[in-house]
């Protein structure tokens, strides 16, 4: 298969994977908040959110993660350009972030399973903050892929830390606005 087709398919499934990760955590927020409602609203919302999370998780998010990985492995191990990339330091860092993304995905899976059993172990505020984990990984990977070896690692690390601080500050500001309502 032509390399550009592989890259296109990989990118499409990376986008749908991230979309699933972003939305599943928002659904976790809604599920947790629904658990604090009174009957019958609580039961109606919980049932609907369980259906929505199931479909998102198993029809979009997991298949996208698997297909994005298959096309990535295909590009890296079965094309000439991929084997050259494996020798580059930026690719090692990118693969480290992909590993972190899988850890994030697996933790989301654990939370998904808990919520399907009505086990609530996290607050909705925690979930709002947790949702930013995928955003940080996305920023890091996109900058690594676009800038490649032109990235000054010190500036890159400082940039990710500053971005994380800005997200935290934004979260605290949003929390204050929600508490006033």
- pLDDT surpasses 80 at 181: no
Structure token pair of residue 91: 């690719």
- pLDDT surpasses 70 at 154: no
Is residue 10 part of an annotated ligand binding site?
A: yes
Lowest mean pLDDT among 28-42, 92-106, 142-156: 142-156
pTM: 0.87
Is residue 107 part of an annotated ligand binding site?
A: no
Q: 73-80: long-range contacts at Cβ-Cβ below 8 A with a sequence spacing of 24 or more?
A: 74/1, 74/6, 75/3, 75/6, 75/7, 75/10, 79/3, 79/6
Cis before residue 40, ω within 30 degrees of 0? yes
Q: List pLDDT tens digits, range 38-93.
A: 999 999 999 999 999 999 999 999 999 999 999 999 999 888 888 888 888 888 88
Looking at residue 150, the DSSP 8-state letter turns out to be: G
Mean of all residue pLDDT scores within the chain: 90
């Amino acid at each position: 298969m032509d390399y550009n087709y592989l890259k296109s398919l990989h990118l499409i499934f990376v986008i749908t994977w991230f979309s699933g990760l972003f939305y599943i955590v928002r659904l976790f927020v809604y599920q947790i908040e629904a658990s604090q409602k009174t009957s019958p609203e609580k039961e109606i919302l919980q049932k609907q959110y369980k259906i929505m999370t199931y479909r998102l998780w198993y029809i979009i998010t997991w298949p996208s993660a698997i297909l994005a990985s298959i096309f990535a492995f295909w590009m890296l191990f079965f094309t000439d350009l991929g084997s050259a990339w494996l020798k580059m330091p930026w690719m090692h860092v990118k693969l480290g972030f992909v590993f972190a993304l899988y850890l994030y995905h697996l933790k989301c899976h654990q939370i998904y399973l808990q919520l399907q059993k009505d086990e609530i172990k996290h607050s909705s505020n925690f979930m709002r903050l947790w949702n930013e984990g995928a955003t940080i990984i996305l920023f890091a990977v996109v900058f690594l892929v676009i800038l490649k070896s032109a990235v000054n690692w010190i500036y890159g690390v400082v940039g990710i830390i500053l971005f994380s601080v800005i997200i935290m500050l934004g979260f605290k500001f949003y929390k204050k606005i929600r508490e006033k309502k």
